[in-house]
Amino acid sequence: MLDQDAGASSGGTPRPAYQYIEIDKNLIPYNFDITLEGHTFTFHINYNAMRDFFTIDLFRNDEPIVIGQRVMYSVPLFLNQQHLDVPTVTIIPYDLALNEKRVTWENLNNTVFLWIP
């Protein structure tokens, strides 16, 4: 589920290469396992069509850690749950072109990605 950014912006200016977590909106709601810093986590991706936002439920060893983490633009995931067994890597919903202000169905995995810097 991790993809690599090519490292070049649309204007040809080099930028650092980052990894991002790919979200397949056609499968929502769905689960996938991801290994971060040697630990395997399960992400359950949900979407609220009435309010146009995504949430993530986080599990480790089939045990819930965080339920209903809202995916908010430019706010690292699990930031307020660092006292729990959450990934210690930073995961930030962000648009590298700086054109977006929130995460929506239309822009997730098009212009906004879950970046791991």
Per-residue pLDDT of the chain (117 residues; tens, 9 = 90+): 555 554 444 555 455 578 999 999 999 999 999 999 999 999 999 999 999 999 999 999 999 999 999 999 999 999 999 889 999 999 999 999 999 999 999 999 999 999 998
Q: Look up the pTM and report it.
A: 0.84
Q: Report which DSSP code applies to 15.
A: -
**41 neighbors 87 (Cβ within 8 angstroms):** yes
**96: Cβ contacts below 8 Å, ≥ 6 apart:** 5, 9, 15, 115
Pairing mode, strands 53-60 and 30-36: unpaired
